[in-house]
């Protein structure tokens, strides 16, 4: 075992002495040491309950014959960090998380780990560390939040609050209406209830094979998650036993996260119209795994992958509805039925089974579906406001016994009834984005798939939000938000404020937004991000002037400004002084690359 490095032999007596001070005794030195990597913090709703989750996983590892050690990572709540300089730290925190997990794993020679992430930078940061260190690993997230509901029963989530805030600033609703939405939209702990980046990444962990079924969709408040945690504990301890070297099953991240499994994750993302941030994070994870993966691959897969599931912010379905409709493996099952040979079914998963076998057993519409899967998908929200994870005792039902208020075959459609025959994400190229840009096509209104209009330029996210809410943007315009890339921000802020402001002032059917920054998973509309190279790296977006005519053609995958090469060459990028010149972000700025590389650091 790797942990023998710190616990075996006379030279390790001092090490054992320190371990004994932590509560380890003689019988433990022959067992595998398992890291429980929690991201518990008290200021993120997706994480407030993770201390209890980690303690439960610790108990399960002891029962399985391992020795557990909990350590925590930092986390940034993008919603709370939104709209001020705090958001500059969001993407940058991914690198701190990856580095800190690597540091703990290698400094203390753990045999394996269970990662308990929940929000958008934490999951990819832990994935990056997992492939970097390559020890047996299973991801077991904290689970999604229940959707809120208005007094008239309409589903609500965080995006409801953002859009209504813009409406209130614009005088379209009252203080009382805003207060009601504020108090009802985020009713429980867990990652925000739509298909935003946190839930997208936790769902992708199922498709990539690094997590067990239900990881992305079983609610944070459901005690059914305990079944998943117990399975994960048994698997990780077995994988780290000395005798496991002879077994064919491997939980090594580099055996699981391969070119083929990253394709599977991207196919899922395209099929369910996930967050554009997943492009950023999958590129970064692929880079850590030593894979040659570029943004062009997303377009290749998008041409073959139909969009068969839409979730908030693209419609009123939420993660709990996806779960009750059959979850991630039912989405993959529909893709397999409608697009044979698109998925790579022979890739391994942490369950010890190939992906195709897991789809057989957990696709709710498969003739081979397990009774256990039917019970898992019958987990429903409590409807009670609570901040406690694992608090709702679920009645054991089969899906057939559920009385759903929606059609599960509409929530997860067949390929023949897809929203579109191409994927929910697209990469656009052109003289405005030579290295690419990303748009969530699943959230774009049909009339905005092609759009031409004059540029209205803002050099920061707060400036754009103020401009939109104060009436500086008119129908037909193209909002440009630049100097917000990884290097320019620094930190690549999310544009949830400006995008929800556009919706709040009812311009989302006539105005597009383009940025070298990025979007929240909660963004919908004609919003194009990740423009590369970014303005701070000399990209053409930095050369634009107010009134330049921007041409967007999402079906053709193009993004251009109506200027010839000579005119662009004659212009210079305006001087832009970063507001932050010291501390971590100053260091980050010197190493950060543009979004087409995943925003990774290079030195």
Radius of gyration of the chain (CA): 24
Mapped onto helix, strand or coil, the DSSP state of residue 221 is coil
User: Rounded to whole angstroms, how far apart are CA atoms 370 and 473?
Assistant: 54
Mapped onto helix, strand or coil, the DSSP state of residue 189 is coil
Tokens 């897809």 belong to which residue? 418
Which residue in 538, 461, 362, 547 sits closest to 82, CA to CA? 461
Q: What is the dihedral of CA 435, 312, 600, 258, to 10 degrees?
A: -90
Q: What is the dihedral of CA 433, 315, 173, 159, to 10 degrees?
A: -60
- Residue 562 near residue 548 (C-beta atoms within 8 A): yes
Give buried/exposed letters for 226-254 (b at 16+ CB in 10 A, else e).
ebbbbbbbbbbbbbbbeebeeeebbbbbb
User: Rounded to whole angstroms, how far apart are CA atoms 438 and 529?
Assistant: 5
Which of 520, 532, 570, 594 is the catalytic position? 520
Mapped onto helix, strand or coil, the DSSP state of residue 459 is coil
User: Rounded to whole angstroms, how far apart are CA atoms 409 and 326?
Assistant: 10
User: Rounded to whole angstroms, how far apart are CA atoms 441 and 426?
Assistant: 6
| Alpha helices per DSSP H over 221-258 | 225-240, 253-256
Whether residue 250 lies in the annotated active site: no
Residue 533: cis peptide before it, omega within 30 degrees of 0: yes
Instruction: Give the DSSP H/E element, type plus range, for residue 33.
Output: strand 33-38
Give buried/exposed letters for 522-542 (b at 16+ CB in 10 A, else e).
bbbbbbbbbbbbbbbbebbbb
User: Which tokens in the block code for residue 275?
Assistant: 């967050």
User: Rounded to whole angstroms, how far apart are CA atoms 87 and 2?
Assistant: 38
How is the chain split among helix, strand and coil, in percent rounded to 5? 45, 15, 45
Q: Enumerate the active-site residues.
A: 520
């Amino acid at each position: 075992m790797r942990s023998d490095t710190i616990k075996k032999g006379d030279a390790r007596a001092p090490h054992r002495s320190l371990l004994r001070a932590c509560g380890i005794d003689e019988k433990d030195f022959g067992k595998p040491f398992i890291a429980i990597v929690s991201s518990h913090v008290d200021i993120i709703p997706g994480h407030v309950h993770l201390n209890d989750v980690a303690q439960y996983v610790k108990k399960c590892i002891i029962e399985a014959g391992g020795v557990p050690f909990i350590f925590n990572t930092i986390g940034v709540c993008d919603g709370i960090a939104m709209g001020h300089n705090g958001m500059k730290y969001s993407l940058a925190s991914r690198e701190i998380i990856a580095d800190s997990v690597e540091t703990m794993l290698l400094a203390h020679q753990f045999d394996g780990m269970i990662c308990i992430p929940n929000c958008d930078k934490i999951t990819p940061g832990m994935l990056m560390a997992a492939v970097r260190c390559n020890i047996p690993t299973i991801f077991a997230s904290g689970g999604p939040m229940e959707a809120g509901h208005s007094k008239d029963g309409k589903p609500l989530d965080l995006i409801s609050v953002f859009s209504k805030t813009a409406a209130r600033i614009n005088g379209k609703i009252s203080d009382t209406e805003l207060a009601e939405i504020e108090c009802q939209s985020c009713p429980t702990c867990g990652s925000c209830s739509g298909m935003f980046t946190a839930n997208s990444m936790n769902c992708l962990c199922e498709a990539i094979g690094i997590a067990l079924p239900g990881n992305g969709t079983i609610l944070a408040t459901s005690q059914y998650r305990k079944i998943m945690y117990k399975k994960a504990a048994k698997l990780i301890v077995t994988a780290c036993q000395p005798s496991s070297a002879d077994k064919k099953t491997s939980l090594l991240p580099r055996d699981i996260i391969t070119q083929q499994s990253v394709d599977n994750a991207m196919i899922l993302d395209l099929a369910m119209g996930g967050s554009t941030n997943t492009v950023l994070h999958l590129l970064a994870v692929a880079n850590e795994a030593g894979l040659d993966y570029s943004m062009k691959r997303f377009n290749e897969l998008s041409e073959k992958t139909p969009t068969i599931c839409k979730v908030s912010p693209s419609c009123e379905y939420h993660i709990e509805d996806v779960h009750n409709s059959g979850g991630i493996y039912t989405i993959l099952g529909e893709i397999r039925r409608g697009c044979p040979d698109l998925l790579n079914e022979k890739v391994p998963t942490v369950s010890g089974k190939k992906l195709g076998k897991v789809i057989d057993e957990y696709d709710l519409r498969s003739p081979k579906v397990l009774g256990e899967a039917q019970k898992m998908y019958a987990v429903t929200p409590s409807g009670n406001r609570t901040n406690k994870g694992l608090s709702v005792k679920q009645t054991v039902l089969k899906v057939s016994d559920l009385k759903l208020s929606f059609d599960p075959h509409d929530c997860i459609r067949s390929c023949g009834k897809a929203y579109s025959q191409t994927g929910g994400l697209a990469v656009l190229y052109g003289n405005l984005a030579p290295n690419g840009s990303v748009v969530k096509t699943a959230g774009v209104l049909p009339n905005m798939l092609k759009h031409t209009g004059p540029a209205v330029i803002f050099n920061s996210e707060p400036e754009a939000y103020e401009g939109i809410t104060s009436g500086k943007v008119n129908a037909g315009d193209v909002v440009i938000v630049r100097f917000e890339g990884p290097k320019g921000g620094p930190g690549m802020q999310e544009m949830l404020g400006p995008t929800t402001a556009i919706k709040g002032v009812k311009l989302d059917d006539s105005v597009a937004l383009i940025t070298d920054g990025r979007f929240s998973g909660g963004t919908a509309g004609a919003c194009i991000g990740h423009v590369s190279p970014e303005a701070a790296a000399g990209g053409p977006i930095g050369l634009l002037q107010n009134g330049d005519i921007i041409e967007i053609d999402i079906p053709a995958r193009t993004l251009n400004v109506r200027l010839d090469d000579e005119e662009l060459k004659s212009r210079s990028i305006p001087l832009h002084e970063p507001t932050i010149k010291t501390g971590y972000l100053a260091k980050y700025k010197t190493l950060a690359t543009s979004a087409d590389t995943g925003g990774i650091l290079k030195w």
